[in-house]
Amino acid sequence: MCSFVLGPSHKKKREDTRRMNHAKFYLHHRNYRKMRVNAVADMTAEVLYEVDATELKAEDRRRRVVRSILVVTFQVAFILVLVLFLGMLALVVFLVAMYTVLPNAIVPTPSRYKLTSQGVVLDERVMFSLKRGQRLRPNEGRKFVSVLHRWRGEVLRLYTPDPNRVITILDQLIPKPK
């Protein structure tokens, strides 16, 4: 029986080959993702409204962070109460409640977005399509529009200098019940 030990040069070559393959894989998928994102963001959809709300978002950051902390605190208190009464079954009840009823701790808030005839393009990467039953709520004082889910509350927050205009456009994009 013959066996041989790979020397340091063989190990280095194998490691270099592995790194090259990983880099090729990463670049391929990164480029594919870019192409897919560009295909989503540069659809033939008509751009109805476009805004860069970086300043408005930065001004309101403290309130968003406080809201997130309060929601997480509520969720922790909720699970502790469930554990007190239900034991290990509390985990299942909490997970069901978290995905159906409890509000999101972190609400997507893009710095730049476009309202198109297909939906909302967030940060020129992700298409957020509006669904039937979602409601809109403007906040004139803090200059944003909230997209609300029927049970879970706020699912998207769009900062804008003109909330009424955004409400008008988004209201046209939400599918109406038949």
Percent share of the chain, pLDDT over 70? 75
Answer whether residue 142 shows pLDDT above 50.
yes
Note if the pTM is more than 0.85.
no
Does residue 3 belong to any structural domain of this protein?
no
- Within this chain, do residues 34 and 73 fall inside the same structural domain, yes or no? no
Would 1 be classed as within a structural domain? no
Mean pLDDT of the chain: 80
| Domain contains 31 | yes
Is pLDDT at 7 greater than 90 in this prediction? no
Domain check: are 127 and 161 in the same one?
yes
> Per residue, what are the HEC states of the chain?
CCCCCCCHHHHHHHHHHHHHHHHHHHHHHHHHHHHHHHHHHCCCCCEEEEEECHHHHHHCHHHHHHHHHHHHHHHHHHHHHHHHHHCCHHHHHHHHHHHHCCCCCCCCCCCEEEEECCCEEECCCEEECCCCCCEEEEECCCCEEEEEECCCEEEEEEECCCHHHHHHHHHHHCCCCC
pLDDT at 30: 41
pLDDT in tens, 96-119: 988 888 888 889 999 999 999 888
Query: Model confidence at 35, in pLDDT bands (50, 70, 90)?
Result: very low
59 and 19 belong to one structural domain? no
Do 70 and 19 share a structural domain? no
Verify that 124 and 52 share a domain, yes or no.
Answer: yes
Judgement on whether residues 74 and 141 belong to the same structural domain of the protein: yes
Please check whether residues 96 and 139 belong to one and the same domain: yes
- Count structural domains, the chain: 2
Containing domain of residue 80, as a range? 43-173
What value, to the nearest 5°, has the Cα angle with vertex 107 and ends 154 and 128?
A: 80
**Model confidence pLDDT, tens digit, residues 54-90:** 999 999 999 999 999 999 999 999 999 999 999 889 9
The answer to whether residues 75 and 152 belong to one domain is yes
